[in-house]
């Protein structure tokens, strides 16, 4: 009971390596993504802890070290490791979270798989996370819970520790009531979220959708709304809204709705883009690709990321425009999910089939139009590719935010390059200067990629300048400040805005 801030996130914030038979804990290898962003809070709050799971054969193993102290480049912090058995991990994460919640959050009712869900196990695991957070939190501490796989933690934690401030952040979209209410556990989930002091989302639309779900299940009276910051409103794009709800008042408390889009670490990406190593890599890639133009697509192998539709759009591009055959290439980095998640196997197969077909149709002995990379690429390499690619083609069918598009913009130290971005990525509300497109329309996809490839340099640079200003303005530091203000308002000032 000693931490002023407890972060509850399922992934461990370090890598465990065995050196000469002894276990050592090291900072996670991946310098990008959400884990380092969350870890940056350890430099801001002295007594902080992180609760994660650690897969263990037997959760009652007395030799298991639950609480460990870590010291890495981010600071000193405590990690509370919950021993979960492989069966618990499979049931709570791979099945309930990924097969039932994930498709609904992203609007894919047809992928929703109810049958294998074991709800008691999901509750048991969430209870264990809540117990660990309750054990770590100092009196009046802030507990910051992340993502839908821990939806029930706030409700349990409130019962155990009424004194703590609870904030919950959604990294995914939050759907409207007619989609969310497919979940038969909707009442329990919403009641748990209403036990929070703050419920956080990337963009205004998700907060409005959350209110629609709450209203469908209980009467919450008037919900105040304010005007959306013009920076978060790409005029006319699919996810843009003009107003946003600020709080829900229940009999027990005010639940603040925090809208703070996650950003990327612009300084770090720039620094990396400016190293000799990255420069050399970029030079090497440029000389390898010669005169060909590169379209770059990066994302996890997931049906929400729209990889198959994008490959098909690329095939249409080569069919429609013979002038581009042998001239344009697609570098498609699609990182497969954890090996235990069979749900993603068909999509991997589909990507391989389409890429193979395109290469068969339009390739030669010396030229393959699609390079499908099905493994994680080191981040320096990715940053070098970001600098070399003429177009970043990011067209998810649904995406809470999407950090790849922001990384691409941050890495373009030459001020050139085109971003083609799906309107259904949360990032689209901030990045109106991108070529926004609708991945559900073949015509819109074709129009966007033509526009990107034919765009005059002056326009490319003008758009990139605006994009860079947005990405710089809302970087990880900005997100961290907003989050700290929400987590601990007395210490970080008044965050309220006048009502409209
Ligand atoms: C969830 C939400 C939301 C990808 N391939 C490689 C690689 N990556 C890195 C990217 C980026 C990260 O993974 C992916 O972040 P995204 O935001 O694009 O997507 P999700 O993983 O789905 O994240 C999403 C996010 O949470 C944050 O709230 O934006 O909407 O779904 O940083 O660079 N990194 C390396 N090699 C790769 O091959 N090193």
- From first to last of its 500 residues, the chain has per-residue pLDDT tens of 689 999 999 998 888 788 888 877 777 766 677 888 888 888 778 889 999 998 877 666 666 678 888 888 778 888 999 999 999 999 999 999 999 999 999 999 999 998 899 999 999 999 999 999 999 999 999 999 999 999 999 999 999 999 999 999 999 999 999 999 999 999 999 999 999 999 999 999 999 999 999 999 999 989 999 999 999 998 889 999 999 999 999 999 999 999 999 999 999 999 999 999 999 999 999 999 888 999 999 999 999 999 999 999 999 999 999 999 999 999 999 998 776 667 778 899 999 999 999 999 999 998 999 999 999 899 999 999 999 999 999 999 999 999 999 999 999 999 999 999 999 999 999 999 999 999 999 999 999 999 999 999 999 999 999 999 999 999 988 888 888 888 886 654 343 444 44
Separation CA 55–CA 86 (nearest Å): 6
Which residues contact ligand 1 via a Cβ below 6 A?
30, 32-34, 171-172, 262, 298-300, 333, 335, 376-379, 382, 399-404, 407
Q: Whose CA is nearest to atom 21 of ligand 1?
A: 300
Give the residue among 200, 199, 211, 195 at the shortest CA–CA distance from 253.
195
Separation CA 151–CA 251 (nearest Å): 21
**Mutation to probe ligand 1, out of 403, 410, 419, 479 (largest number of atoms < 8 A from CB):** 403
Tokens of 335: 């990182």
**What is the rounded (10 degree) CA torsion for 352, 358, 362, 367?**
-30
Separation CA 416–CA 409 (nearest Å): 9
| CA 65 to ligand 1 center in whole angstroms | 30
| Confidence (pTM) | 0.95
Separation CA 284–CA 193 (nearest Å): 50
Q: Whose CA is nearest to atom 30 of ligand 1?
A: 400
**Of ligand 1's atoms, which has the minimum distance to the CA of residue 333?**
38
**Mutation to probe ligand 1, out of 11, 268, 298 (largest number of atoms < 8 A from CB):** 298
List Cβ neighbours of 7 (8 Å cut-off, separation of 6 or more).
38, 41, 48, 49, 50, 51, 144, 146
Say if residues 323 and 293 touch (Cβ distance below 8 Å): no
The torsion angles phi and psi of 96, rounded to 5 degrees, stand at -60, -50
**Of ligand 1's atoms, which has the minimum distance to the CA of residue 376?**
38
């Amino acid at each position: 009971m000693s931490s002023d801030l407890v972060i509850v996130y399922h992934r461990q914030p370090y890598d465990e390596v065995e050196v000469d038979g002894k276990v050592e804990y090291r900072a996670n290898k991946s310098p990008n993504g959400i884990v380092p962003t969350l870890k940056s809070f350890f430099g801001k709050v002295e007594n902080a802890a992180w609760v994660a799971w650690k897969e263990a054969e037997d959760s009652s193993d007395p030799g298991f070290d639950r609480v460990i102290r870590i010291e890495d480049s981010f600071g000193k912090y405590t990690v509370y490791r919950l021993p979960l058995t492989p069966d618990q991990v499979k049931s709570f994460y791979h099945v309930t979270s990924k097969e039932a919640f994930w498709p609904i959050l992203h609007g894919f009712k047809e992928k929703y798989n109810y049958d294998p869900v074991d709800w008691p196990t999901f509750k048991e695991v969430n209870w264990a996370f809540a117990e660990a957070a309750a054990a770590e939190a100092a009196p009046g501490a802030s507990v910051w819970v992340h993502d839908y796989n821990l939806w029930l933690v706030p409700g349990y934690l409130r019962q155990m520790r009424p004194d703590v401030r609870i904030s919950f952040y959604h990294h995914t979209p939050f759907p409207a009531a007619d989609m969310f209410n497919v979940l038969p556990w909707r009442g329990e989930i919403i009641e748990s979220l209403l036990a929070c002091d703050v419920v956080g989302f990337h963009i205004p639309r998700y907060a409005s959708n959350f209110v629609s779900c709450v209203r469908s299940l209980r009467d919450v009276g008037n919900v105040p709304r304010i005007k959306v910051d013009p920076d978060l409103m790409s005029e006319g794009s699919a996810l843009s809204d003009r107003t946003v709800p600020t709080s829900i008042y229940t009999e027990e408390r005010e639940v603040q709705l925090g809208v703070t889009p996650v950003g990327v670490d612009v300084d770090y990406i720039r620094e990396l883009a400016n190293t000799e190593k990255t420069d050399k890599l970029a030079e090497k890639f440029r000389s390898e690709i010669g005169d060909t133009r590169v379209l770059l697509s990066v994302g996890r192998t997931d049906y929400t990321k729209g990889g198959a539709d994008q490959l098909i759009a690329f095939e249409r591009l080569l069919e429609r425009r013979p002038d581009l055959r042998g001239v344009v290439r697609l570098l498609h980095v699609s990182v497969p999910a954890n090996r235990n998640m069979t749900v993603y196997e068909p999509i991997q197969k589909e990507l391989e089939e389409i890429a193979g077909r395109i290469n068969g149709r339009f390739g030669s002995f010396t030229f393959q139009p699609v390079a499908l990379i099905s493994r994680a690429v080191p981040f320096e390499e990715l940053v070098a590719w970001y600098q070399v690619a003429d177009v970043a083609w990011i067209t998810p069918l649904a995406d809470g935010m999407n950090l790849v598009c922001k990384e691409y913009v941050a890495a373009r130290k030459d001020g050139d390059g085109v971003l083609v971005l799906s309107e259904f990525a949360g990032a689209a509300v901030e990045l109106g200067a991108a070529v926004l497109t609708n991945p559900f329309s073949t015509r819109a996809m074709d129009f966007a990629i033509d526009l990107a490839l034919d765009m005059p340099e002056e326009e490319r640079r003008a758009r990139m300048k605006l994009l860079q200003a947005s990405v710089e303005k809302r970087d990880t530091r900005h997100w961290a400040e907003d989050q700290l203000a929400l987590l601990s308002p007395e210490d970080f000032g008044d965050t309220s805005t006048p009502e409209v």
